[in-house]
Amino acid sequence: MEDKTRPVIAIDAMGGDFAPLEIISGALLALESIDAEIVLFGNEKQINDILDSELSSSSKLDLKNIKVINSTDDIKMDDSPSEVLKHRKNSSIFMGTEFAARTKECAFISAGNTGAVMACSLINMKKIEGILRPAIATVIPLGENKFVLLDSGANSEIKPLYFKQFAIMGTVYSREILKIKDPKVGLLNVGSEEKKGTEPVVEGYKLLKESELNFIGNVEGRDIFNGAADVVVSDGFTGNILLKSIEGMANFFFTEIKNIFLSNFLTKISALMVKKELKAMKKRFDYEEYGGALLLGIDGVSIISHGSSKAKAIKNAIRVAAESLKAGIVNKIKNEVQNQ
Amino acid sequence: MEDKTRPVIAIDAMGGDFAPLEIISGALLALESIDAEIVLFGNEKQINDILDSELSSSSKLDLKNIKVINSTDDIKMDDSPSEVLKHRKNSSIFMGTEFAARTKECAFISAGNTGAVMACSLINMKKIEGILRPAIATVIPLGENKFVLLDSGANSEIKPLYFKQFAIMGTVYSREILKIKDPKVGLLNVGSEEKKGTEPVVEGYKLLKESELNFIGNVEGRDIFNGAADVVVSDGFTGNILLKSIEGMANFFFTEIKNIFLSNFLTKISALMVKKELKAMKKRFDYEEYGGALLLGIDGVSIISHGSSKAKAIKNAIRVAAESLKAGIVNKIKNEVQNQ
């Protein structure tokens, strides 16, 4: 009986810079606080070796909620999506998404090749009826000012209606997972006036304005860091560049600050005095807190984690996956898209 | 005889959040170190009142290198470019650009309405023959990793050949003004592979690869903060969003750091110990060091300063304007575009 509501999380154990060790560690970490069943896809021997070694080093570890399914194909970071769909059906990503599609209350997580995850999720889980294009929704962590950005890379091309659908999906995500009441939606643009931007953006503005969403108008690069919007909609090209720039800039700043504190004896002493506060600040910008980006618009829950994910990120991805299943965000998106 | 090579700088005294006082102060500041003639356009009475008051408070001030030309129309920040061209011909921006166009070795500077500056510069100074679209070139200050971004907002639409022309203009700017030998050109994109991005971007990649420029390939949001490229080319929509995001994020970070140091007694002491280094860090990110963005591709030197420019930014804009005239960047762009 219990199994009926218990989430199942299919995980690509082979994807990401620190796979399979950190992926498996993340899964074990998640099971300490999340009631779920985990299915690891990948090289069975490698995975079991790691599980055995973890088991021998921890007395409280219980593997009854972990299954392993062997996959034989490898996907490299530069394999094209079409290559994967044609020749890598025995890969952890293809098999995991296929498994998630035919299993009740099952989500999929991978820190591997983004294009492959998108292609396999789309083929196996299918698109939600009425959705034109799935989009990648990423939470940008900025302390109190966090927002969901979508599309952050699934589509380079854009049409006006995509913006509206992205806004609907982002609103559901923000409301159900981030617990924001009546999320404010902003359209990423180069000015606040209605007529600003490219043609699809101007048309998209109109559709958003006529919708029942909590649309607050255009938001500029400056505004998004002031908490102007909870959901920021964009084409996937601009969104992806923005996302990676924020990441690059955050790294750059933290390195600069570190260098300042390492300048001399006095600054090193100073560093000790603000250590706690700096650590808290860094945590407020930590994308690992959100575990990964959701591919929204498909008939299932699929999470694309950062390539450099470590155990903590994977644990949080599992938490978000379980919450997404529990909140039924796929059904909520279906309903809201039909009523659009 | 001296006048022949002496630069003339026409300045919109009425544009910007702190006009006319900070604009005029910036002009006076510039004259302390730069040998130029300055012509201020705006409300003659207001300008003269400020000059008189500055004159009475400083004994060493000499106004022989400053002229004032009266303008009667006001341009508001939300006036459309077509509105300005039709009905604001007696504005400081229209008159200043018109003056710069017919005066030898004369540049124009404004911290006012960007669209108006672009439109008036284009109408009065004309486009360089062979250039399809002028572009706004902005220096992104990141300490040693600074780069020129263009287009940062002149055009929302993009065609493949624009990228190549932006790259040529950015290379001239980087080489002549920032003194970078053989500047590395990167194409802002969502991945490093040749086939990534929208159609115009993919085509633009090919043109850049075939060119004689020092093209290093695609650069992503992450790379640009690591000094990967000296010149980053982009469509104006993405470029503008990137530019404002960098600004927003820098403000956000510096506010966070300030708050950390204000947390408690210990952190306040700590702040005193790193004060000098923090100040130096802030200076490395200070856009005021570069004074403003150059509108490249027109047959003249026109600088668009930030709306919030204070005296220091205006002084630096005057320095960049004088350097641009001296280096003959317009002629260099003409030559390189003809040889493309």
Please determine, for residue A84, whether its predicted confidence score (pLDDT) is greater than 80.
yes
Q: What share of residues in chain A are helix, strand, coil (percent, to 5)?
A: 50, 15, 35
Cα(A287)–Cα(A142) distance, rounded to whole angstroms? 9
- What secondary structure letter does DSSP report for A227? T
Q: Is the peptide bond before A134 cis (omega within 30 degrees of 0)?
A: no
Q: Render each residue's pLDDT in chain B as its tens digit; 340 residues.
A: 444 579 999 999 999 999 999 999 999 999 999 999 999 999 999 999 999 998 888 767 778 899 999 999 989 888 888 889 999 999 999 999 999 999 999 999 999 999 999 999 999 999 999 999 999 999 998 877 899 999 999 988 899 999 999 999 999 999 999 999 999 999 999 998 888 899 999 999 999 999 999 999 999 988 999 889 999 999 999 999 999 999 898 888 888 888 888 888 888 888 888 888 888 888 888 877 788 999 999 999 999 999 999 999 999 999 999 999 999 999 999 999 988 7
Q: Is A292 helix (H, G, I), strand (E, B) or coil?
A: coil
Orientation angle between helical segments A236-261 and B236-261, nearest 10 degrees: 30
Instruction: Judge: B223–A145 Cβ closer than 8 Å, yes or no.
Output: no
Give residue A1's pLDDT band: very low, low, confident or very high (50, 70, 90).
Answer: very low
Minimal Cβ distance to B197: which of A156, A193, A223 = A156
Orientation angle between helical segments B21-31 and B44-57, nearest 10 degrees: 50
> Any CB–CB contact under 8 A between A262 and chain B?
no
pLDDT the model gives residue A314: 96
* Beta-carbon contacts of residue A116 (< 8 Å; ≥ 6 apart): A75, A79, A81, A84, A88, A91, A93, A94
pLDDT the model gives residue A2: 45
C-alpha dist (Å) from residue A108 to A32, A69, A185, A239, A302: 19, 14, 27, 23, 5
> Any CB–CB contact under 8 A between B247 and chain A?
yes
Mean pLDDT on A101-120: 96
Instruction: Judge: B256–A156 Cβ closer than 8 Å, yes or no.
Output: no
Give residue A241's pLDDT band: very low, low, confident or very high (50, 70, 90).
Answer: very high
Chain A CB contacts of B222 below 8 Å: 244-245, 247-248, 251
Three-class SS of chain B: CHHHCCCEEEEECCCCCCCCHHHHHHHHHHHCCCCCEEEEEECHHHHHHHHHHHHHHCCCCCHHHEEEEECCECCCCCCCHHHHHHHCCCEHHHHHHHHHHHCCCEEEEECCCHHHHHHHHHHHHCECCCCCCCEEEEEECECECCEEEECCCCCCCCCHHHHHHHHHHHHHHHHHCCCCCCCCEEEECCCCCCCCCCHHHHHHHHHHHHCCCCEEEEECCCHHHHCCCCEEECCHHHHHHHHHHHHHHHHHHHHHHHHHHCCCHHHHHHHHHHHHHHHHHHHHCCHHHCCCEEEECECCEEEECCCCCCHHHHHHHHHHHHHHHHHCHHHHHHHHHHCC
Cα(B247)–Cα(B241) distance, rounded to whole angstroms? 10
Mean pLDDT on A270-282: 84
**Which chain B residue shows the shortest CA-CA distance from A79?**
B193
**Which chain B residue shows the shortest CA-CA distance from A189?**
B241
Within the 30-89 window of chain B, which residues sit less than 8 Å (CB to CB) from chain A?
A: 78
pLDDT the model gives residue B1: 43
Chain A CB contacts of B145 below 8 Å: 252
Rg (CA), chain B: 21
Minimal Cβ distance to B224: which of A142, A248, A260 = A248
Mean per-residue pLDDT of chain A: 92
Instruction: Judge: A143–B256 Cβ closer than 8 Å, yes or no.
Output: yes
**Which chain A residue shows the shortest CA-CA distance from B243?**
A221
Minimal Cβ distance to B244: which of A220, A266, A269 = A220
Structure tokens at B79: 């006036």
Instruction: Judge: A241–B281 Cβ closer than 8 Å, yes or no.
Output: no
Instruction: Judge: B221–A243 Cβ closer than 8 Å, yes or no.
Output: yes
- For an interface test with A, the pick among B205, B240, B241, B259 (most A C-beta atoms closer than 10 Å) comes out as B241
Across the A/B interface, how many CB contacts are shorter than 8 Å?
155
**Among A172-181, A244-253, B43-52, B66-75, the least confident range:** A244-253
Cα(B246)–Cα(A188) distance, rounded to whole angstroms? 14
Please determine, for residue A103, whether its predicted confidence score (pLDDT) is greater than 90.
yes
**Which chain B residue shows the shortest CA-CA distance from A192?**
B78
Residue with tokens 């921890």: A58
Within the 204-233 window of chain A, which residues sit less than 8 Å (CB to CB) from chain B?
A: 220-226
Please determine, for residue A203, whether its predicted confidence score (pLDDT) is greater than 90.
yes
Length of chain A in residues, anyone? 340
Cα(B298)–Cα(B122) distance, rounded to whole angstroms? 6
Of the candidates A156, A194, A162, A6, which has an alpha carbon nearest to the alpha carbon of residue B80? A194
- What secondary structure letter does DSSP report for A278? H
Chain B CB contacts of A201 below 8 Å: 237
- What secondary structure letter does DSSP report for A300? S
Residue B197 C-alpha, separation from nearest chain A C-alpha, in angstroms? 6
Instruction: Judge: B248–A223 Cβ closer than 8 Å, yes or no.
Output: yes
Minimal Cβ distance to B156: which of A190, A246, A273 = A190
Greatest Cα pair distance, chain B, in angstroms, is 64
Instruction: Judge: B274–A278 Cβ closer than 8 Å, yes or no.
Output: no
Cα(A245)–Cα(B97) distance, rounded to whole angstroms? 35
Cα(B150)–Cα(A334) distance, rounded to whole angstroms? 41
Q: Taking a C-beta distance cutoff of 8 angstroms, is the pair B108, B302 a contact?
A: yes
Please determine, for residue A244, whether its predicted confidence score (pLDDT) is greater than 60.
yes
Alpha helices in A262-307 (DSSP H): 265-284
Cβ neighbours around B42 below 10 Å, total: 27
Instruction: Judge: B250–A249 Cβ closer than 8 Å, yes or no.
Output: yes
Cα(B213)–Cα(B163) distance, rounded to whole angstroms? 12
Q: Taking a C-beta distance cutoff of 8 angstroms, is the pair A116, A81 a contact?
A: yes
pLDDT 10s digits, B9-18: 999 999 999 9
Residue B280 C-alpha, separation from nearest chain A C-alpha, in angstroms? 9
Of the candidates A326, A316, A322, which has an alpha carbon nearest to the alpha carbon of residue A26? A316
**Domains of chain B, CATH where assigned:** 1-131+297-340 (3.40.718.10), 138-286 (3.40.718.10)
pLDDT 10s digits, B253-273: 888 888 888 888 888 888 888
Instruction: Compute the C-alpha angle B78/B83/B86, nearest 5°.
Output: 155
- For an interface test with A, the pick among B152, B155, B159, B249 (most A C-beta atoms closer than 10 Å) comes out as B249
Q: Taking a C-beta distance cutoff of 8 angstroms, is the pair B225, A256 a contact?
A: no
In DSSP terms, A127 is beta-bridged to A298
Mean pLDDT on A126-143: 94
Instruction: Judge: B221–A236 Cβ closer than 8 Å, yes or no.
Output: no
Q: Taking a C-beta distance cutoff of 8 angstroms, is the pair B297, B127 a contact?
A: yes
Q: Taking a C-beta distance cutoff of 8 angstroms, is the pair A121, A98 a contact?
A: no
Cα(B302)–Cα(A306) distance, rounded to whole angstroms? 43
Cβ neighbours around A100 below 10 Å, total: 27
Cβ neighbours around A290 below 10 Å, total: 24
